[in-house]
Every structure is written in C-alpha cells, then in structure tokens.
Amino acid sequence: MADVSNTASSIENLLAGIEDVPDDIDFSDEIDKELMEDEDAAVLDAADNYEPYTAESVRLEDTEEASAEWKDRFSQFKKSLGQMQDKKSEISRLKKKMWRMKQKQMGLMSQINVQQNDIKLKEERIESLQNELREANQSRITSEQAASRNEETATSLRAIISSKNRDIAVLERQLAETARRLALATACKKVEEPALPCESASSEPEDEESRLEALENFVSVVRSLSSLTSRDEATHMLMMSQGTCFHCGRKLSEMGSNPDDCGCSYCSILRNILKDTPVEVKKSTVDVSVLLLFVFIVLSIALAIFVYNWRDEAFYVLSDVKERIKLIF
C-alpha cells in the first residue's frame, strides 16, 4: 500500500508540475468514464465469481485489487500525460506558427502603409503638376492673346504707314513734276527766241514758284503730321500753320478747326491723316511743384502746432515758413 500511495503521489506531483496547458483541454471526463467502466466490469466479475473468503484472504485480495487498480490508473495517467505532452508540443508549434504569421502580418501592414504614403505623395505631386500645367496653359493663352493683339496693332499701324507713304509718294511725284515744269519755264525764259510757248511759259514763273513753295510747305506739313502720335497735336499744328493747300488754296488753319470735305484730293489726304492719328487719352495730372508746396505747408503748420508752447520759437518757425513760400513763388 505504501508503494501504491507513493506512486499515486508522484503521479499527482507530475501532473501538478505541468505548465502552459490550455484551459480548454480537459481529460477528467474521459478518465472518470474509463474508471467507471473498469469498476462496473470489476463488480460484474466479482458478482459472477463470488466465493466466501476469510478475512485474511479478503484483505489480500483487496490489496492485490487495489494494487492492480492503481497500476491501471497509473498507466491511464501516464497515457493521458503523454497525450497532454503531445498536445502541449502541438500547441507550442501552433503558437510559434501564429507568432510568425503575426510578424508576417505586421510586415505586410507596414509595407501597405509605406505604399499608401507613397501613393498619397504621388497623388499630391500629380495634383501640383496639374496645377502647374493649368497655369502654364493659362499663361500661354494669355501670351497668345497678347501676341495676336500686338499683331493686329502692328498690322493696322503698317496699313496706316503704307497709306501715308503712298500719299507722301504722290506728293513727292507732284513736287518733282512741278520742279521740272519750273525748270523748263526758267530755261525758256533764258532763251531769247520769240517763241510763243516760251513766252507763255515765261509769263508765269512767279506763279510756278509760288505753287512749288506751297507744295513744299504742304509736303512738310504732311510729313510733320505723319510723325505725330496724337490727333490733338496734329489738329493744333494745323490750326497754327500759316500755309495753304497748293491745289485749292484753302488755309490749313481752317482745316484744323473745321475738317469738312471741300472736294480737294489733297485736303482729303490731310483729313485721312487726322482720322488715322489716334486720339490721346488725357490723364489728370497734378503739378508736382504745387503738390510739394502743399505738403511743405502742411508739415510746417504741424511743426508750428507742435512747438506752440514755445511762442518765440513758433514765431521764428512761421517766419521761416513765410520766407520759404516767398522763395518758392
């Protein structure tokens, strides 16, 4: 009995020393079931083979049966212990596998976060590039519009310049023709032959000279008008001009004050020049000297008020202000 009790206590100590066994693994029901089946079988065998025994024989049989029972229990506990150790190793293996899977999951999650951050940065970069492209397209459209406007302005200016150059060329041809006729009349005057054409040509040299002078004045006026950039300046120059149109004799000052159509082709040239000359937009400007004088007076008054407590100094300041105003005017 002592050996059996020692064996049972050692088995219990072994069972108590097992660690890291999951709570959901329970073998008590199976062990109790097997023990109950063994006890029932033993009871049935005892009932079938009942024989009267003496007290000594009964004690001996009880001891042997108890020893056999404890041996069976020991074998069952040993078997259960082996199963529990196998399950413990399986659980350890599964825990290691789960830990590796968790580590792999953490690595994959970190890679996913890195990829998401990279995607976010690329989306921001794409958005910034789209904004830059939009601004570049807008600036390109603006520059193209400005270039088209400049081209239209240049085309209109070239047309105006070409028309004025044609008018000047016409006037120069007429001037050359008049000069040629004047030279011919002068040559005929020097010849001492009583030819009627020469006499008729020499009878009007003064008229040709006056017409040539008027044509030269007219051409100079046209060139001056072509060089001006303001219609007001051109009108003022015509009004101050003392010349006349060499074709119809109309005064150029009247052309400046009343540019009506008189039917003369040369006056129409002047009208076209006035029409093509742009109107200057007058800007309201303030005389700088008057503005500076006003600022100086305001500052002087402020200084005089600041030193009002010192009457004598204020008097000298005001006198100085008066002297400066006199010097300015």
User: pLDDT tens digit string along 131-182?
Assistant: 999 999 998 898 888 888 888 888 887 887 777 778 777 777 777 777 777 6
Please state, in angstroms and rounded to a whole number, the distance separating the CA atoms of residues 125 and 138. 20
Give me the pLDDT at residue 247, please.
Answer: 58
User: 207 or 30: which carries more pLDDT confidence?
Assistant: 207
First and final C-alpha spacing in the chain? 143
Give me the pLDDT at residue 89, please.
Answer: 84
**Angstrom distances, CA of residue 81 to CA of 24, 77, 90, 152:** 16, 6, 14, 104
* Amino acid, res. 70: W
Please state, in angstroms and rounded to a whole number, the distance separating the CA atoms of residues 102 and 77. 36
Give me the pLDDT at residue 287, please.
Answer: 54
Confidence of residue 19 (pLDDT cuts 50, 70, 90): very low
Confidence of residue 183 (pLDDT cuts 50, 70, 90): low
- Residues 180-188: what's their mean pLDDT? 65
User: pLDDT tens digit string along 88-135?
Assistant: 888 888 888 889 898 988 988 988 999 999 999 999 999 999 999 999
Domain boundaries, the chain: 2-110, 227-280, 288-328
Q: Would you state the structure tokens that stand for residue 169, as one six-digit string?
A: 């060329």
Q: Rounded to two decimals, what is the model's pTM?
A: 0.31
Would you say 240 and 253 are in contact if contact means Cβ atoms under 8 Å apart? yes
234 pLDDT exceeds 50? yes
For helices 205-227 and 55-190, give the axis angle rounded to 10 degrees. Answer: 170
Q: Would you state the structure tokens that stand for residue 35, as one six-digit string?
A: 């023990």
Please state, in angstroms and rounded to a whole number, the distance separating the CA atoms of residues 318 and 312. 10
Please state, in angstroms and rounded to a whole number, the distance separating the CA atoms of residues 211 and 182. 10
**Angstrom distances, CA of residue 185 to CA of 99, 180, 207, 256, 300:** 125, 9, 11, 35, 76
Give me the pLDDT at residue 77, please.
Answer: 77
User: pLDDT tens digit string along 29-50?
Assistant: 554 555 455 555 554 554 454 4
Which residues are CB-neighbours of 151 under 8 A, at least 6 positions away?
Answer: none
Please state, in angstroms and rounded to a whole number, the distance separating the CA atoms of residues 136 and 145. 14
- Mean pLDDT (the chain) is 67
User: pLDDT tens digit string along 259-278?
Assistant: 555 656 566 666 666 665 55
Q: What percent of the chain has pLDDT over 70?
A: 38
Looking from the CA of 129 toward its CB, the CA atoms found within 13 Å total 6
Would you say 202 and 181 are in contact if contact means Cβ atoms under 8 Å apart? no
Confidence of residue 191 (pLDDT cuts 50, 70, 90): very low
- Residues 58-83: what's their mean pLDDT? 72
Looking from the CA of 223 toward its CB, the CA atoms found within 13 Å total 11
